[in-house]
Amino acid sequence: MFDAAGLRKYWYPVSRMPKNGGTWPTVDDMVQKNQRLVVFTSKSAKEASEGIAYEWRYIVENQCESYCYYYPESRTIQWLERTD
């Protein structure tokens, strides 16, 4: 779908995505490198097969007041240990 639409050329590659609380590039940096399309999936297998980032490796969401019924795999903000 992304290739057919001509969007692959704007794709921000998974290999460059920050891990373990690393810093994302600025939008300006992404635009200068022509890699400004960030795509996530909720299906982990798509990261290896299609190069689409598995969302729970790269993003966090605010802690739910109780059990996160819809997204039990989402991590709470406490797992992230920043050193900056």
More confident residue, 14 or 65: 14
Task: State how far the Cα of 27 lies from the Cα of 60, in Å rounded to an integer.
Answer: 19
* Residue pair 23/16 in contact by the 8 Å Cβ criterion: no
Q: Per DSSP, which regions of the chain are E strands?
A: 40-41, 53-54
Residue bearing tokens 């590659």: 13
Token readout for 52 is 């689409």
Residues in CB range of 23: below 8 A, 6 or more apart: 84
Report residue 84's pLDDT band, with 50, 70 and 90 as the boundaries.
Answer: very low
pLDDT (0 to 100) of residue 75: 56
pLDDT digits (tens, 9 = 90+) for 3-56: 899 999 999 999 999 887 788 899 999 999 999 999 999 899 999 999 999 988
